[in-house]
Amino acid sequence: MSSTPERPADDLHVDTVIVSAGRPPREPGAPVNPPVYLTSTYVADGPVTYARGGNPTWDAFEAVLGRLEGGTALVHASGMGAISAALSLVPGGGTVVAPDTTYNGTVDVLQAFEKAGGTVRRRHATDTAGFISDLEGADLVWLESPTNPLMDVIDLPTVLAAAREHGVVSVVDNTLPTPLGCRPLELGADVVVHSATKYISGHSDVLLGVTVVADDERGGGIGERLALHRTLHGAIAGPMEVYLGLRGLRTLALRLERAGSNAAQLAARLEGHPAVERVRYPGAGAMLSIDVAGGAEAADRVCAATRVWVHSTSLGGVESQLERRRRLPAEPESVPPNLIRLSVGIEHLEDLWSDLDQALNAAL
């Protein structure tokens, strides 16, 4: 990852902010947790008149994410809702610079943008000079580091600095590293995006997205535009989903500590395994990918042979998940057919290794 902060902007460590932020005032008899506000409308003449514009349950969740990322957060109905809001910052017929391999939902939106007359300039994640040259005349640069599912690392500080020099809006999808691994606003990003369905919520039980913008003059009205897009397009989150997302967020530091340790040890053990041609591990975090010897059919056999690992299409949950990504029609051709993405969970390391090892050996 490009940045590993120990503290947010205030005097508390991030582990403490995760647990303590977004709580009700400490008054005698007050609840420790914020309540769920199940309402579609409000009494007139208050700060919010209708639930599409705001909800106190959102406020608590957004307060935590905003402090973790060092900006102002907006919750969206899903990660795709957040992605669509961020890409709405590009004018019609505009130009976007993006990695040639990225989350396939983003790929779909960018392809629709191209069909509508927009231009997308794609570069390999590690081609820093290419990214910088493509910024000339562009409207927005979309970045994620590590990339999903190739786990390539982008030089975020350099590309973000160049985007600011060119006056190009910069968006970083921070879903995989989370705010504990990287704080893109501190590196110069204009917008941070999360699929909060993943590590933020952490239990594979809600769909949520988040956008975060800087609090200072760098914002340039972007936050208001994102909020307006959320309201006009109706991509708003239900209060119960946001409550569950906040409850899951409280354990983010502990979950990542265990899952990250498991991932690092699994990556080391997978190196040199006779059934593995390549291990793609960015050096931190709880995600890695492997290229399986024997092609796509062998990779499918591995996914079908696990008992502890769940064969599923998401990531970031407490359970370990794996999937051959090219089985999905939208996955870019730059992803090898034999690549399996591994989202490492918090189970016991030896159980994860034993299950994965036997599945790989069975595929030989």
Q: What is the pLDDT of residues 291-335, one digit of tens each?
A: 999 999 999 999 999 999 999 999 999 999 999 999 998 888 899
* 132 and 45 belong to one structural domain: yes
Domain presence at residue 179: yes
348 and 203 inside one domain? no
**In terms of domains, do 238 and 295 share one?**
no
What is the rounded CA–CA span in Å between residue 202 and residue 264?
19
> Around Cβ 161, how many Cβ atoms within 10 Å?
15
Q: Is the pLDDT of residue 2 over 50?
A: no
Residues 135 and 36 in one domain: yes
Q: Is 6 domain-assigned? A: no
What does pLDDT average to over the chain? 95
Task: Look at residue 2 and tell me if it is in a domain.
Answer: no
Residues 292 and 198 in one domain: no
Q: What is the distance between the terminal CA atoms of the chain, rounded to a whole angstrom?
A: 33
pLDDT confidence of residue 50: 94
Please state the φ and ψ torsions of residue 139, each to the nearest 5 degrees.
-105, -30
Strands 119-123 and 140-144: unpaired
Establish if 86 belongs to a structural domain: yes
Q: What is the pLDDT of residues 184-215, one digit of tens each?
A: 999 999 999 999 999 999 999 999 999 999 98
Contact 227, 311 (CB under 8 A): no
239 and 92, same structural domain?
yes
Cα pseudo-dihedral 166, 155, 191, 8, rounded to 10: -130
Same domain assignment for residues 283 and 158: no
Mean pLDDT of 65-82: 97
- pTM for this model (two decimals): 0.94
Decide which of 183, 215, 249 is a domain's last residue.
249
Structural domain span for residue 26: 14-249
Q: Is 201 a domain residue?
A: yes
Kindly state whether residues 175 and 111 are assigned to the same domain: yes
Mean pLDDT of 107-131: 96
The 10s digit of each residue's pLDDT in 220-229 is 799 999 999 9
Question: What is the spatial distance between Cα 207 and Cα 198, in angstroms, rounded to a whole number?
Answer: 8
Q: Render the burial of 188-197: b for 16+ CB within 10 Å, e for the rest.
A: bbbbbbbbbb
Q: Could you give the CA distance from residue 323 to residue 18 in angstroms, rounded to a whole number?
A: 30
Mean pLDDT of 85-93: 96
Considering the domain architecture, whether residues 164 and 306 belong to the same structural domain is answered as no
CB 163 within 8 A of CB 157: no
Taking CA atoms, 65 is separated from 44, 251, 255, in Å, by: 29, 13, 17
Last residue of a domain, one of 220, 249, 278: 249
Residue 193 included in any domain:
yes
Q: Tell me if residue 77 falls in helix, strand or coil.
A: coil
The count of structural domains within the chain is 2
Q: CATH number for the domain including 122?
A: 3.40.640.10
CATH number at residue 348: 3.90.1150.10
Task: Summarize the confidence of residues 282-294 as an average pLDDT.
Answer: 97
Lowest-confidence pick of 1-5, 6-10, 33-37, 135-139: 1-5
Clarify whether residues 272 and 243 are in a common domain. no
From 197, 232, 249, the end of a domain falls on 249
Q: Is residue 1 part of a domain?
A: no
Same domain, 336 and 226: no
H-state helical runs in the chain:
14-20, 56-69, 79-87, 104-115, 128-134, 156-166, 178-181, 222-233, 239-249, 252-270, 295-304, 349-363
Output the pLDDT for position 217: 62
141 and 22 both lie in a single domain = yes
Q: Which residues contact 354 (CB under 8 A, 6 or more apart)?
A: none
Is 3 among the domain residues?
no
